[in-house]
Structure 1
């Protein structure tokens, strides 16, 4: 009795009708959707390519900035080293002059 009731119900006929309609419309829908899907895929690929290009450019800029900063720090380090050498030379010259002045003072005292 349940099977007969199911076979005579409207739901079964609606389901069969929907399935038949889907089978008839699927090839046409497939043809119509294919270009739009291909276009969507191309647009997504373009967006991905642009994003990759943006990140590559950003990466290059960051690398260049880091290289420039490293070179700047190296130059500052070498300038600091040079200044330290100049300071050391100036101190040595001052020490030399101080010793000369002391030697001259002693000679002056011996002359008096």
Structure 2
């Protein structure tokens, strides 16, 4: 039985690392959602006129949620592995999401 648990832990650890690849489609999805929503609200993307803060928030928050989606499977499989090293992918993702959030929300206040 111990061998089966070790194999399951290895599988969960591997899935946690592979889930980092979810950032690629989620990155593009976040831009599609954010730019799509701002366009639906009637503002041109990249225009010299900045949209109001409420419109920027309506477009930014869902985009950030889409970008953060890979955190969930990485957390789940990292915890299931039962090994602290299996949580490394989660912390890598958490740093990436934090940087993405800062880069996308700080300009809103300017």
Structure having greater relative contact order (Cα 8 Å, sep ≥ 6):
2
Of structures 1 and 2, the larger Rg is shown by 1
* TM-score, structure 2 normalization: 0.29
* TM-score, structure 1 normalization: 0.29
